[in-house]
Chains A and B, each alone.
Chain A
Amino acid sequence: MMKRAAQWLVPAAVALVAVTGCGGSSGGTGQNTANNGVGGPASNGQTITLRISWWGDQTRANLTQQVIDLYEKSHPNIKIQPEFTGYSGYQQKLTTEAAGNNLPDVMQMNYGPMISQFSSQGLLDDLKPYIDSKQIDVSKIDPQLLGTGVINGQQLGIPLAENALAVLYNPDLLQKAGLSDPKPDWTWDDFIQMAETVHQKLGIWGARTLDYTFTPEYYIRQHGQHLFSQDQKALGYDDQTLADYWQINLKLIRDGAAPTIDKIQQIQGLEQEPLAQQKAAFDLRWSNQLTALSNNGKLPLKLAPLPGPDADKGMYLKPSMFFSISKTSQHKAEAADFINFFINNLDAAKILKTERGVPVSSDIREQLKSSLSPLDQETFDYIDYVSKHSSPIDPDSPPNYSQISQTLKDVDQKVLFGKETPEQGAKEFRSKAESLLK
């Protein structure tokens, strides 16, 4: 009996979710598009519950909750129910909710694969009407940035903050190793040489091992190519470029200037990162992670653009995340009002600071300037610099992106564990990615 139960357990568990999925899709999404179209927030005294969902760590949860409290105070008829998880489980959660026809009203969405996946299934509402009726005021947002939330001609997301790739570095460690801060026009050769000097002089890592999620794409872009072709149906670079990227990483590891991949595997959480522990002087990341890695400013970290040559071609500004409204939401006007509050209210911005990135509204940025902490000032200045020294972001929206990204990770591990040469790795990634792109 137990044996049989055990045998059925796995398919049953998988199917359980699947079955609710069937029910959900036959029920039909998008029935409610007609309700609650454009109109002012409900004011008939009834309490409305808005569900708002995001991914992030505890710091983000605390800050977002403070903004929610602030909003509830000025909107006594609205009760906000927050839902948050870490990034790794976030899309699973939303997908399951979508299958059950139970998406939250407001959802944090990521640029690229996540928002394309949800938009391709018609789960997100077009926000154009709310913009036109000024319920969401976007007049202070850079049009190009706002445009990143447009998919197939529909405004499906409102960017919340701006982000860029950055080299996070520890100026104290550089100074101890007899080095000065990196110049904006530095190159990969400078980067390698500085990292190795730090390693030799101080006996720590020079840099953290480069991460596969964004560094290869930056390297490809700075060489005038793109990860995906324009139509998103093929790869858009030479194998040699990707192989060259891996050579940089391998050289750092071989010379002891960066941790081996098995050390990287064992890092559990940002606080254990070598840079946060002062065991490395450089780390390539998203600029908004400065808050977390500097332990909220306790470690005097700074930001520099990624190494060149032609960093301008590789660098780009990224909407660090969007807020979207689900098509099935019953309270779209209220959801739109909350989004507007989130991006345009000064008190909310004072709470959020740069945790999600630099605020999108130029008014807010201007008004915050006087009260910035050194940490936020660093981020503001950096994003300002990047906005003048970068190229537009790539669309990166092939349907199987999550699997392609997984494939890049697998090959990256093989190369860094020494199971494959960079050339073999580039070839393997091409053959696997191309079959996923078809």
Chain B
Amino acid sequence: MLATKTDTIVPPAPGVRSRRKKNDNLTGYLFILPFVIGFIGLTLFPTAASLYLSFTDYNMLGSPHWVGIENFRQMFTQDDKYWQSVRVTVQYVFTAVPVRLVCALLIAMLLDRITAGAGFFRTVLYVPSLIGGSVAVSVMWKQLFSDKGAINALLTAVGLHPLPWLGDPHLALWTLVLLAGWQFGSPMLIFLAGLKNIPRELYEAAGVDGANAWQKFVRITLPMLTPVILFNVVMQVIQAFLAFTPSYIISNGHGDPLDGTLLYVLYLFRNAFEFFKMGYASAMAWVLLAVIALCTALIFRSSSYWVHYESESE
């Protein structure tokens, strides 16, 4: 307080300035302190602990017992349920991500055309993404696809056979994929922003050259959107690997039927909290981390072949 007062009257001596700088830094650190505490206490420390636990046998009640790489060995060589969860998850990632992105892009292109009420539609279409991950929506989804639910009623109404959506091991995962597709909001907004950034002249020029709508889409829209697509793909792939709530609710918490919806994180959760194998679950978490990192790296590596940056061509 005193320092500031002298500041205004006389030009500060060099020492004063540096002290003031130090004060500024201190203030800054104080401001980020809550985050730093949270990061260390809730992220860094638990992460380090889970790394340690992944090499132990730990049932949460006793104390952890060092077993070296035994958890990983068991996971890769003995646990066929683990591989089933990997299969289900890969299938889910490879279907849910494209379904969601295609939905998002289509809706974004429609919204791009609309001028009246665009804000309203944007908001309404974003709502599923806000609530889609919640327990309530998963419960609703389960009702919709149940034996006598709305979807089967619709199928019957148009003369088709009702399907055992949640009872058939192959169909059950598709209800999760559809749920994921329905939550297209955030990639949609990003696509929309990307679409708005495409210069209109490109379309006009193409129009003059006689290009039809499809040609414009393939030759202009898609290439110009590739940076945005890259971003969305990376984000959605990560999210898909981490999907948990819907499969937990829809499959009664078990990955039913016949482990058809046993997503990786669900199996991880079951190991931790149902079989009380916290060490094994931690090991699974670290493998998942490595796989996600690898996938992200591969997508980035591949991007030089298909992502088009405007600045390069100039």
Q: Which residues of B contact A21 (CB under 8 A)?
A: 58, 60, 278
Knowing A263-B167, A266-B147, A266-B166 touch, does A12 contact B47 (C-beta < 8 A)? yes
Q: Which residues of A contact B272 (CB under 8 A)?
A: 14, 17
Could you say which of B42, B142, B289 contacts A268, with CB atoms under 8 Å apart?
B142
Residue of B nearest to A419 (CB): B258
Task: With both chains docked as a complex, state the minimum distance between the C-beta of B151 and any C-beta of chain A, in angstroms.
Answer: 12
Q: Is the Cβ of B43 less than 8 Å from the Cβ of A12?
A: yes
Determine if B282 is an interface residue (Cβ-Cβ < 8 Å): yes
Interface size class of B (residues with CB under 8 A): 35 or more
A11 to B44, CA, bound (A): 10
Contact code string B228-270 (vs A, CB < 8 Å = 1, else 0)? 0000001100110010000000001110111100000100100
Q: Is the Cβ of B275 less than 8 Å from the Cβ of A6?
A: no
Q: Which residues of A contact B169 (CB under 8 A)?
A: 417
Residue of A nearest to B286 (CB): A11
Could you say which of B46, B239, B265 contacts A12, with CB atoms under 8 Å apart?
B46
Q: Is the Cβ of A402 less than 8 Å from the Cβ of B275?
A: yes
Q: Which one of A46-54, A95-103, A142-150, A197-205 contacts B?
A: A95-103
Could you say which of A11, A12, A14 contacts B42, with CB atoms under 8 Å apart?
A12
Contact code string A211-240 (vs B, CB < 8 Å = 1, else 0)? 000000000000000000000000000000
A19 to B51, CA, bound (A): 11
Determine if B129 is an interface residue (Cβ-Cβ < 8 Å): no
Q: How many A-B residue pairs have CB under 8 A?
A: 143
Residue of A nearest to B56 (CB): A18
Could you say which of B62, B63, B166, B285 contacts A11, with CB atoms under 8 Å apart?
B285
Contact code string A84-103 (vs B, CB < 8 Å = 1, else 0)? 00001001100110110000
Determine if A265 is an interface residue (Cβ-Cβ < 8 Å): yes
Determine if A175 is an interface residue (Cβ-Cβ < 8 Å): no
Knowing A7-B289, A266-B164 touch, does A18 contact B50 (C-beta < 8 A)? yes
Q: Which residues of B contact A121 (CB under 8 A)?
A: 59, 61-62
Knowing A7-B293, A266-B146, A410-B259 touch, does A15 contact B166 (C-beta < 8 A)? no
Contact code string A375-419 (vs B, CB < 8 Å = 1, else 0)? 000000000000000000000000010110010011001100101
Task: With both chains docked as a complex, state the minimum distance between the C-beta of A412 and any C-beta of chain B, in angstroms.
Answer: 10
Determine if B274 is an interface residue (Cβ-Cβ < 8 Å): yes
Q: Is the Cβ of B286 less than 8 Å from the Cβ of A263?
A: no
Task: With both chains docked as a complex, state the minimum distance between the C-beta of A24 and any C-beta of chain B, in angstroms.
Answer: 9
Q: Which residues of A contact B193 (CB under 8 A)?
A: none
Contact code string B119-132 (vs A, CB < 8 Å = 1, else 0)? 00000000000000
Task: With both chains docked as a complex, state the minimum distance between the C-beta of A433 and any C-beta of chain B, in angstroms.
Answer: 14
Determine if A346 is an interface residue (Cβ-Cβ < 8 Å): no
Q: Which residues of A contact B49 (CB under 8 A)?
A: 15, 18-19, 22
Knowing A10-B285, A15-B47 touch, does A403 contact B275 (C-beta < 8 A)? yes
Q: Is the Cβ of B50 less than 8 Å from the Cβ of A15?
A: yes
Residue of A nearest to B166 (CB): A266
A157 to B271, CA, bound (A): 27
Q: Is the Cβ of B46 less than 8 Å from the Cβ of A3?
A: no
A15 to B167, CA, bound (A): 34
Knowing A11-B47, A15-B282, A266-B164 touch, does A6 contact B53 (C-beta < 8 A)? no
Determine if B276 is an interface residue (Cβ-Cβ < 8 Å): yes
Determine if A34 is an interface residue (Cβ-Cβ < 8 Å): no
Which residues of A, 20-35, contact B by the 8 Å Cβ criterion?
21-22, 25-26
Q: Is the Cβ of A9 less than 8 Å from the Cβ of B242?
A: yes
The chain B residues found within 8 Å of chain A, CB to CB, are 42-43, 45-51, 53, 58-64, 81, 142, 146-147, 164, 166-169, 234-235, 238-239, 242, 252-254, 256-259, 265, 268, 272-276, 278, 281-282, 285-286, 288-289, 292-293, 296
Please name 16 further chain A to chain B contacts, defined as beta carbons within 8 Å, in addition to the given A8-B43, A11-B46, A402-B274, sorted by A numbering. A6-B292, A7-B292, A10-B242, A11-B289, A12-B47, A12-B50, A16-B46, A18-B60, A91-B274, A95-B276, A121-B61, A402-B275, A403-B275, A406-B275, A410-B81, A417-B258
A-B contacts, 25 listed (Cβ < 8 Å): A7-B238, A10-B268, A11-B50, A11-B289, A12-B42, A12-B47, A12-B50, A13-B46, A14-B285, A15-B50, A15-B282, A17-B278, A18-B53, A18-B282, A21-B58, A22-B63, A25-B62, A92-B274, A117-B61, A118-B61, A266-B164, A400-B275, A402-B274, A403-B275, A414-B258
The chain A residues found within 8 Å of chain B, CB to CB, are 2-3, 6-19, 21-22, 25-26, 88, 91-92, 95-96, 98-99, 117-118, 121, 123, 260-266, 268, 400, 402-403, 406, 409-410, 413-414, 417, 419
Closest 3 CB pairs of A and B: A262-B167, A15-B50, A15-B46
